[in-house]
A and B are shown apart, each in its own frame.
Chain A
Amino acid sequence: MALKASQLKLGDQHEAVVVRELSRTQIVQYAGASGDYNPLHTDEVFTTQVGGYPSIFAHGMLSMGLTGTMLTNYVGDGRLTKYGVRFVSQVFPGDTLTAKAEVEALRSEGGQHFVDLKLSTVNQDGKEVVTGSASARIDP
């Protein structure tokens, strides 16, 4: 179900809710899977009393991973060639995130077609938490 160059146009958009009311437990799952056990992400006592933050917050890489599920569902398995993000705002427990991709360019190199996408993930208040870009191989 790959994207087709012939059916895409600039400005086309795809969006998906990638997490609803993020739980502390999902952040713990991410720490366990990724191996990043920074207490700022899972240890409320340390984070509020020593770190000076109002609460633990998600790994930036969890927001990138969540955004990535929208992306791979859109472009298809194994089609990504580039994926990059900036972490604009922190993501906190309870946040609901919506990730969006917008077609920014369609190009071909050596007979292979590619799409370039602009990415943006926002929380339940419409505040941007991740911005980024991605490229993927697409069919003619």
Chain B
Amino acid sequence: MVDRFPVEAGHIMLFARAVGDINPIYYSDEAAKQTEPGGMIAPPTFVQSSAQFEPDYGLRPKIGERWFGSGKAASGSNAEPPAQVAPRSAGGGSGLHAEQHYEYHRHLKPGDVLHSVNKPGKTWEAEGRRAGKLKFSESITEYYDQNDNLVITARSVGVQTERPVAQG
């Protein structure tokens, strides 16, 4: 859940670069004026970067706290990975993203200030050929703008695998 996610032009530019999108609508106010929306908008998966504004997001190092990624040692910090999102031991399974769905009620633009509400979805289990037992869980996130209008509905499916996904 995010209380305040300010949508900023610089962040949109960095995000567009990261997904290799050269569309000028993500880089320049001037260029964006010539487009149908008439101003800058955000790429369709930009809202995922709301993670930046989640105070307790488990996959971002916290200032002054130990991190579970490598330092001098492979899992350098002695910190335990968050149970749902990262491996707990060598050869163990991990949390992976299985599906992501967005419904756009309108497109985001710089100046929007979003907040989100999370709703639990279904959970189910399956037997996978490449990663053992799979535990799926769904969550729905509704993003509202500064006027409390619903702008994006997101549905995410995560999967906890029994072991790392076999390749090939």
- A-side interface residues toward B, CB under 8 Å? 2, 18-19, 26, 29-30, 32-40, 43, 45-46, 49-54, 59-62, 64-66, 68-69, 71-73, 76-87, 90
Known: A29-B17, A72-B23. A46 touches B99 (CB 8 A): no
Q: What 1/0 flags go to B14-36 for Cβ under 8 Å of A?
A: 11011111010100000000011
Contacts of A46 in B (CB 8 A): 68-70, 74-75
> Is B66 part of the contact surface with A, judged by Cβ < 8 Å?
no
Contacts of B101 in A (CB 8 A): 82-85
Docked Cα-Cα span, A46 to B70, in Å, equals 5
Contacts of B6 in A (CB 8 A): none
New A-B pairs, 12, CB < 8 Å, besides A39-B68, A77-B41: A37-B61, A38-B86, A39-B70, A43-B69, A49-B70, A51-B86, A53-B164, A65-B19, A66-B19, A69-B19, A85-B99, A87-B98
Known: A34-B49, A35-B51, A52-B92. A77 touches B36 (CB 8 A): yes
- B-side interface residues toward A, CB under 8 Å? 11, 14-15, 17-21, 23, 25, 35-37, 41, 43-45, 48-52, 57, 59-61, 68-70, 74-75, 85-87, 89-92, 94, 96-104, 107, 155, 163-165, 167
For A87, give its contact among B18, B43, B87, B96 (CB under 8 Å).
Answer: B96
Chain A nearest CB, measured from B51 CB (Å): 4
Known: A34-B49, A50-B74, A65-B18. A72 touches B165 (CB 8 A): no
Contacts of A73 in B (CB 8 A): 23
Q: Are B18 and A29 interface neighbours, CB within 8 A?
A: yes
Q: Which of A34, A64, A84 has the most CB of B within 10 A?
A: A34
Contacts of B89 in A (CB 8 A): 50
Known: A50-B90, A77-B36. A35 touches B60 (CB 8 A): yes
